[in-house]
Amino acid sequence: MNVLYATLGFLGIYAYVSFASLLWGGIDRKLVARMQRRMGPPLLQPFYDFLKLVGKESIIPRDANRFFELAPVLALATSIALLAYTPLGFEPIFGTKGDVILFIYLLTLIGFLRVVGAVSSGSPYAQIGAQREMIILVSREGPMMLALFTILWRLSDLGVTKPFSMGTFYEHNVWELGTPMSIIGAVVLLLVFLAWLASEIEVGYFDIPEAETELAEGTMAEYSGRHLALFELANAIKAFVSASLVVAIFFPWGISGYIGLTGLPAVVIDLLFHTLKVFAVLFVSMSLFRAVTGRLRINQAVSLFWTRMLPAAIVGALLLAIDTLGVVA
């Protein structure tokens, strides 16, 4: 019985997140268009795009190998699996000890599958896009993991039931630590996370692997039809999930407790409120960032991560850790 409920809930979450993430695509395009003094496409444009792509023939290059067709399917499957461990305003369905590590692996796997698909296509544009994707993948994960694990370590120090899990964030949050040092550290880490998020969804400075005007969509250059539709959906879900991580760490508060709801209505209200927060985070990290910046060169982006973000993450981590370590008595 329990398994049945879990499965149904999981399917419900999948349907909801697909809808919400595609809807965000429309909202984002509309908002950016307004910032650029344009009208922008209709709000439901991503849905139209998705449906149109699903109905279209998929062209497979002559030189492509099996992974070309397999990669989009695996990417979508990975992003669905990811939903089981994503905090969405309530504890993840299959949450357990140490699921943070699984979460990060699955998130990276989507990027890795894009690379596999691009390399399999045999197109030189896609190969250069894949090179760039790998380089930036390696650079962005370091600062993020350092920040994430510091926060989790610090929180599990307060005594949580499942250490190093996504559920940790619903028992305590970084702002609860209370000391001025930890608050400054948390703000620094928030900036690191926003930059990581922008890089994860490839906007603004970090639109490097897909650089439309340089590489003609880079990693996605050879994809069309159904395969492209699967990748688009996987990417949209990935954006939502990555933003959910930031929301869970820094803005984990629900509202169901305040209006005294319990059971299913509480879950629905929390989910909707969480979606709102995700949209707010994505607005800062995606829409605003996309409207006010251009694309960097790959070496500039990499040096941004290694010489700015990594030191920032280290400083933030030290500030968080400083009162536990007892450096300042």
Partner 1 sequence: MNGKLEYWVKIPIGPIHPALEEPEKFIITLDGERIINVDVKLGYNLRGLEWIAMRRNYIQILYLAERICGICSFSHNHTYSRAVEEMAGIEVPERAEYIRVIIGELERIHSHLLNLGVVGHTIGYDTTLHLSWLARERVMDILEAIGGNRVNYSINTIGGVRRDLEEKHIRAILDMIENYRNEVMPKIEEIFLYDPTVEARLRDAGVIPKRIAIEYSAQGPTARGSGVKKDVRYNERLSVYPDLGVKPITPKEFTGVVKGDVFDRMVVRVGELWQSMELIERAIDQMPEGKIKAVPKDNTLLFQLKKAEGEGIGRYEAPRGELIHYVMAQKGKDVPAKWKMREPTFPNLFAIARALVGEQVADVPVAIASIDPCLSCTDRVAVVDANTGRKKVLTERDLLRLSIEKTRELNPNVRAKPEVVGVGCPRGGVL
CB 296, min distance to partner 1, A: 6
Task: Report the alpha-carbon distance of residue 241 to residue 85 in Å, rounded.
Answer: 10
Q: Does 262 bind partner 1 (CB under 8 A)?
A: no
Question: Which one, of 71, 141, 76, 82, lies nearest residue 113 by Cα?
Answer: 71
Structure tokens at 81: 């699996």
Q: Does 97 bind partner 1 (CB under 8 A)?
A: no
CB 93, min distance to partner 1, A: 38
C-beta closer to partner 1: residue 58 or 131:
131
C-beta closer to partner 1: residue 38 or 56:
38
- Binding map of partner 1 across residues 107-126, x = CB under 8 A, - = no contact: -----------------xx-
Q: Please state whether 41 falls in left (phi above 0), alpha (psi between -120 and 50) or beta.
A: beta
C-beta closer to partner 1: residue 37 or 66:
37
Structure tokens at 315: 């400083």
C-beta closer to partner 1: residue 180 or 294:
294
Q: Does 291 bind partner 1 (CB under 8 A)?
A: yes
CB 32, min distance to partner 1, A: 8
Question: Which one, of 290, 274, 289, 283, lies nearest residue 83 by Cα?
Answer: 274
Q: Does 131 bind partner 1 (CB under 8 A)?
A: yes
Sequence letter at residue 47 = F
Given a contact cutoff of 8 angstroms between Cβ atoms, the answer to whether 160 and 172 are in contact is: yes
Among 211, 229, 237, 317, binds partner 1 (CB under 8 A): 211
CB 63, min distance to partner 1, A: 14
Q: Which helix (H) or strand (E) holds 277?
A: helix 263-282
H helices present in 157-223, as ranges: 180-200, 212-215
Which among 76-84, 113-121, 207-215, 245-253 is the span making contact with partner 1, rule CB under 8 A?
Answer: 207-215
Given a contact cutoff of 8 angstroms between Cβ atoms, the answer to whether 243 and 28 are in contact is: no
Given a contact cutoff of 8 angstroms between Cβ atoms, the answer to whether 151 and 250 are in contact is: no
Structure tokens at 126: 């896609």
Which among 170-178, 193-201, 235-243, 298-306 is the span making contact with partner 1, rule CB under 8 A?
Answer: 298-306
- Binding map of partner 1 across residues 31-60, x = CB under 8 A, - = no contact: ----xxxx----------------------
Task: Report the alpha-carbon distance of residue 33 to residue 287 in Å, rounded.
Answer: 10
Q: Does 300 bind partner 1 (CB under 8 A)?
A: yes
C-beta closer to partner 1: residue 179 or 293:
293
Sequence letter at residue 65 = N
Binding site for partner 1 (CB under 8 A): 35-38, 124-125, 127-128, 131-132, 204-205, 207-208, 211-216, 291-300
